[in-house]
Structure 1
Amino acid sequence: MFNLHTFGRLHLTNDLGDLSFPDKGLLAICYLLDTKQFEASRTDIATLLWSGEDRAGLLANMRQTIARIKSRQRELGVDFLTFTPTTVRVEVETLTSDLSLFDIAENNEPVQTLYRLAEAVKGDFLEGFEPVNTLLDVWVEQKREAISHQFLRVFKRALATISAAEADMTIRKLALQVFRLHPHDEEVQAFLLESGVHDGPQDGSALPFAANARAVRSDTETEPLSLQLASRMFNKQFAQARDSLLARPLPVVPPYGERKLDAPRLALLPPQNDSESIVATLVAASLIEDITIGFCSLKSVRVVAPHTAGQFSRDPNKAAVFERHGISYILDTRISYGQEVSLFAQLIFFANDEIIWAERFSLDSSNLTLHRRELSKRIAVIVASHIERDSLSRAYYEASPDAYHSYLVGQRHLKELTLPNLRRARREFRAALQKNPHFAPALSGLARTYTKEWLLTMRGDEQLLASAAEFSTKAISAGEDLAGGYRELGIVKLAQGDIDESVNALNLAETLSPHYADIIADYADTLVHASRPADALKKIANAIDLNPLAPDTYLWTAAGANYCLYQFETALSYIAMMHDSGLADRLSAACWAMLGDMKKARSFVRNVRATIPDFDVDKWLSMIVLKEQWQKDLYREGLRKAGF
C-alpha cells in the first residue's frame, strides 16, 4: 500500500520506504484529497501550481509535469493521478494519507484521538513549503489554520473526560502545543495552570503547525508560562466585563415562525489581521471598537459586541451563523493598499447580500490616532442613517419570517448554477410565495431561475424568458422600492433583444441600490451590448471596487468593454485575472490577433475548436445582441484575423 505523508516533509512511501515522485504531482494529490473534489480542470491545477499570467505557459508546464508523472507511475505500476485532455483526477483507492486523521478526529473518542494525532502529526503541514506566489500559498495557509482550530476542538472535547491532575505527559505536551497555537483560549489556559506544565525544554519533537506558533507574540518567549497565563486570564476577564457593557448577551434567535420583530441586529466584522502594516491593523481594529461603542447609544439598531463579532469573522460558514443569530446587517471591513493605506467599509443587508453603502477612509494621516473618535462617530452616523433609511426594504423580509426563510434557502441553491439547483431554488421561492404571495424578493428569485435556465439550456426555449419577464414584473408591482425586480427585468429584456428597455430597468435598479455590486455589474454588461463601452467600463470598475475579489463575469465584462475601446492589452490583463479564463478564449484570440501576435491567437483558436468544433463567427454574431453594427464588425475582424 502507498502512503502520502503531508505532516513534516511531503513525501510518498510504501512498505519498502521512501519513493521518489514529482513534487508538483504530490502537491496536486494533496490538494485534490484535501478539497474532496478528487477531480479538477487542468487549468485550475496549473494555476494552483505555477505563477504567471500566461495561460499557454501554465498549460505547457502542466503538460511537461504530466509526462513526468505518467512515466514515474508506469515504473511504480500504479496510477495515483489520471488525466483527460481537460481534467486531473486523484484515484483515492490507490493510497492512504495522514490527512484522513482529521476527517475522523471530530467524531472519535477524543482522548484516543489525541494520542493518535500526537503520534502521527510530527511536524507542520507541508513543512518547509516555500511560497510560490500562486493560489497554492493561500490554500496551504488556510489548511494550516483549519488544522490548528480542529486540534483545539479535539483537545477541548477531551477536557470533558480527563482532569488536569490525571493527564499524562503526552496530554500535557499536547496542551502546551495547543496553547502555543491558541494562547488566548481560557480552557487551555486553565488546564495548563492546574496541571503545572512548565514552559521548559521539551524532548526535541517538533511542534505542529509551526507557522501559526511563530505568530504568537514575542512576549510568550520571554515571560514564564505561569505569568503569561495569569496575565492573560485577568485581561480576558476585564475584556469580558467591558463587552457586557457594550452589548447584551447574544442568545440563539428562535425559529423564524416564533421571532418577534425588533430593532435590526448589526455585526461589525474586524479587518483580518493579515495587513502589511501592523500600525494600520491596530488603528483599524481600534476604529471598529470605537464605532461599536458609538452604536450602543442608538435605539434603531442592536449591535453585536466586538468579541462575538470577531468570532463571526473567523467562522468558515458565516452565512449560517448570521442566520442563526438573526443578523440583519453586516459592516464588513478590510485594509487596502494603493497610493495610500485605507480602511474599506461596506454595509451589507444579509437577506439578499446587498451592499447598501460603501466608502473608503484614509489610515495614512499622522493625526489619525488623535482624530480616531471623530472618524468613528462619522462612520457610526452614516451607517445608522442608511439602516434607518433601509427599514422599508427590511419590512419585506421581516414581516414574513417564514417566507423569508424559504427565500434564503432558495438563494443558497442559486449559488451553484446547475439545472438541479435552479429547480430546487424555484421550489423554495414558490414555497415562500405560498406563505406570502406578494413577497417581492421571492418573485425576483423566480424570475432569475428562468433566465439562468434559459442560458444553461443554450437559449432555445422562449417560454423561459416569458416566465422570467412575468415574475420580474410581478416583483416590481409587489416591491417597487426594491431593486431586485428591476434588475431581473433588465436581464430579461437584454436576452429578448430590447436593449433600451434593459438599460432603463437596470438604471432604476442601480438608483435604488447604488452600492449593490452585482446589479452594477449587470448594468455594465448591458451597456457593453448597448454599444456604450466607455460607460460600461466606469460601471464595472465601480462594481469591482465594491467587490474586489470579483467573480469571472465582472472581469469578462471589463475585458469586453476594453476590447470595444481598442484597449486589447488591458482586455487581456482582465482575462488573465479570471479563475476560469477559458470562458473568454474567443475574446483572447481576437485580442492577440488585433495586437498582431498570430501565434498566441492561433493557440486560443485551437482551444475553442477543441470544445466547439463547429464554431462559426457569423452564426455566433447573429445570436449576440449588440445595438450598433460597428461593434459586430470589430468582433468579426478580430475573430477572422485569429483564424476562425
Structure 2
Amino acid sequence: MKNGEDVAMRRVQMCLLGAFALIGPDGKYITPKAQKAQALLALVATSEHGVRSRVWLCDKLWSDREAEQASSSLRQALTHIRKCLGPHADVIETDRTSVRIRLDLIELDLLALTEGRSSQLEGAALLRDSIDADFLEGIDIRDPEFEDWLTTERNYWWQARQHLLQTNKAKPQIDVAESPSDTARVEAVMESSPLNGRKEASGLFLVSGNGAEYGETNGLSEAAFHSMPVSSIAVMQLENLSGEPPHICHGVTGDIISNLTRFHDLHVIAQRSSLVFHGMNLSPREIGARLGVRYLVDGGYQRIANKVRIQFQLIDAMSERSIWSDRYDGDMNDIFAFQDEVTNVVASRLSIEVSASEMHRMALSAPSDLQAYGLILHGKYVYQRLLRETNQHARRLFEQAAEVDPNYARSYVGISRTLNDAWRFNWVDPPEPSLDEAVRQAEIAIRLDPGDARGYAALGSAYLYKRDHEASLAAYERALGANPNDADVLAEMGHSVSVYGDTERAVSLIKRAMRLNPYYPDWYLWHLGEAYFDMQDYEQAIRTLNQMHDKTEAYRMLTASNALLGRLSEARQYARQLLLTHPEFTLAHWTNVPPDRNPEPRERLIDGLREAGIK
C-alpha cells in the first residue's frame, strides 16, 4: 500500500452524503448520537478552512435561545463529540471564539466532489449511488437558521455531484421494462418527498437508460413543477452588457439574493447554485427544473459613459412567461447609493410579484389538499376585501392552516390580523376579547419564527389599537430589523409613527414603502391620508385619499376632512357612502378606535363626522 493511501486509511472518515457518519481508523462507527452534535460537525467541516466562530454556530443551531444559554449548549455538544472521538479527539480544536476541524486528520467524502476525485468514491458506480443520498439525509434540526443553511448546502452539493457525473459520463443502464416512465417516476418521487424529489428527479434525466443527455428536463410535467416549493425563486447572474468588471454583476446579484432571503415566505436558492448555470444555453424551464424552483430572475447590467442601467425580469419557469420586468437608470457618481436602492426595491418588488402570482393560482383553483401554505395564500386572497364575511372566511382558512401545520408562523399572523380588524370594525360582540387574542396570536407567530418581520408587524398593529404606543413602535422596529425592505411593514409603521405624533417621519416611511412597492395597495394611501389629516392638511388628505381605487376605508376621513373645510354637501355624500358600506358604524364605537396618543386628532375626526350627520 502506498504511504499516502496508508495515511488516508488511518484518518477519521466523515460522511455527509447520505446519513451522517463518523468512522474511526479501525472501521468502527464513532458517530455522535445527538443530531445537533452531528450538525455541528457538518457546519464546521463544510467551511472553507474548517473553522467557524462560536457565535455563528450558536445562531445556526440555537437561534431561539439567549446568548449565554446557546453558548452553554455549544459547550455540551463539543463535550459529547470529544467523548465519541475518544483517542482521536485532536480532530477538533477550540478556542475562546471559534471551533476548528483538522481537515488534515479526516477524510471527508465531499472533498471528492470539490476536487473532482471520483476515484476516491470508488469510481462512477459509487458516485451514482451518492445521487440517491441527500446531503445530511434524515437530519431533523428544527431551527429555521439551520434549515435555511441546510437547503442551500443540499442544492449546492447536488449540483456538484451532477457536474462530476457529467465529467465522468457515468450513465447506468436502467431496466426500462421493469421501470415506469421517467415522468411517472419523477412525479411519484416528488409526491413522497419534495426536497429529495427535486434531487432525484433531475438525477433520473441525467442517468436514465433511454439515453437522455445531461439536462434534458423539458419533459418535466406540470405536476412535477407544482410539487416544487411554492414561492421558490432563483436569481441568475446579471448579464454584463458593457464589459464591466465581473464583480459588479456578481455583487448586485448577491445583494438581491441577500435581500430576498429576508422575506421568509420565499424559498431562495443560494447564489453559488444559480451561478452554475451562468452562460449555459438552457431554457428557463430546464434551469427551473434543475434548481427546483418555480420562478427565475434574470437581467442585465449596462454602462454608457457616466450612466448605468440595470434591467430585470421575473419568469415563471414552467410556462417561460415573463411576469414582471423593469429597468433602473442611475449615475456612476453615486453608484453605491444607486445599487443599494435598486437591490432593495427589486427584492421587495419580486416578493410582491411572486406572492401575487401564487395567490392568482389559488384564485383559479382552490387547494385540493390541506397544505398549510396553500390555505394561507387562499386566506390572504380572501382577506383583501375588508368585509365582515371575508374577514370570517379568511380567519377560518388561517385556522385550518394552523391545524394542518401547528408550527407554521404565518397562520397565526393571519389569525391575529383578522381578529384585529374584527375589533376595529365592530364585527364581533363583545369586541374587547378579539384584540387581546390578536396580541396572543401574534406572540405565537414570533415564538415560532423569531426572524420573520410579519409576526412583529402583526404584534405592532395589535398593540397600536390597544394604545400601547411604546410596545407598538418597539415591535415595528424589530420587524424592520428583520426585514428593512418589507414595504408593507414600512407603511404600517408609518401609521404607528403618525398616531404617536411624529407625522413627518410617518410621511417619509410611507413614501419609502411606495418606492419599494410602486404598485402599492389602497391602504398605503389610506395611512398617508390619515397622516396628512393629523397634520391638519385636509386638502392634501383629500387629494391622497381620492387616489384610492376602492374608497371604502377612505369615507371616514373624506367625510371629516370635507366637513372641517366647510364643504358640508360633499361631507354628507361621503357620510352616506360610509353608512352604506359599514352599516355597523357608530360614533360611540369609533370614538374608541383611532389609536392616537394625542386625543386631539381623534376628537377632530369625530367632530367632522358628527357635523356631517353621523350619529
TM-score, scaled relative to structure 2:
0.43
TM-score, scaled relative to structure 1:
0.42
